[in-house]
Homo-oligomer: A and B are copies of this chain.
Amino acid sequence: MYRTHTCGELNLRHAGQTVTLAGWVQRSRDLGGMTFIDLRDRYGITQLAFNMETNADLCSQARKLGREYVVQVVGRVIERSSKNSKIPTGDIEIEVQELCLLNESRTPPFTIEDQSDGGDDLRMRYRYLDIRRNPVRQNLEMRHRMAMLVRNYLSDRDFLEIETPMLIKSTPEGARDFVVPSRMNPGEFYALPQSPQQYKQLLMVAGMDRYFQIVRCFRDEDLRADRQPEFTQIDCEMSFAHQEDVLDMFEGLAKHLFTEMKGLQFDSFPRMTWHDAMRLYGSDKPDIRFGMQFVELNEVVKGKGFGLFDAADLVVGICAKGCAEYSRKQLDALTDFVKRPQVGAGGLVYIKYNLDGSFKSSVDKFYTADDLRRVAACFGAAPGDLMLVLCGPAMRTRVQLCALRLEMAQQMGLRTPDVYAPLWVVDFPLLEWDEETQRYYAMHHPFTAPKPEDEPLLADPTRWGDIRANAYDMVINGVEVGGGSIRIHDRTLQNQMFHTLGFSDEQAYAQFGFLMDAFTYGAPPHAGLAFGFDRLCSLFGGVDTIRDFIAFPKNNSGRDVMSGSPSPISQEQLDELQIRLDKKN
Contacts and interface: CB of A to CB of B under 8 A. Distances in A.
Contacts of A514: 562-564
The quantity of this chain's copies bound in the complex is: 2
A interface, how many residues as a size bin? 35 or more
B166 A583 contact: no
A573 interface: yes
A375 B132 CA distance: 64
Contacts of A199: 551-552
Nearest to A220: B183
Contacts of A582: 574-575, 578-580
Contacts of A240: 1-3, 22, 72
B566 A521 contact: no
Nearest to A189: B569
Contacts of A185: 557-559, 566
Given A127-B206, A132-B206, A183-B220, 9 more contacts: A2-B240, A2-B241, A24-B522, A126-B521, A144-B162, A180-B566, A186-B585, A198-B563, A578-B583
Given A184-B558, A230-B166, A565-B190, A522 B580 contact: no
A568 B521 contact: no
Most B C-beta atoms less than 10 A away, residue of A189, A566, A577:
A566
B218 A24 contact: no
7 contacts: A68-B522, A144-B155, A168-B565, A170-B573, A180-B180, A186-B583, A189-B568
B41 A216 contact: no
B187 A568 contact: yes
A222 B184 CA distance: 8
Nearest to A126: B521
Interface string A222-248: 110000011010000000111001000
B176 A229 contact: no
Given A144-B155, A189-B569, A514-B562, A577 B179 contact: yes
Given A220-B183, A579-B582, A525 B102 contact: yes
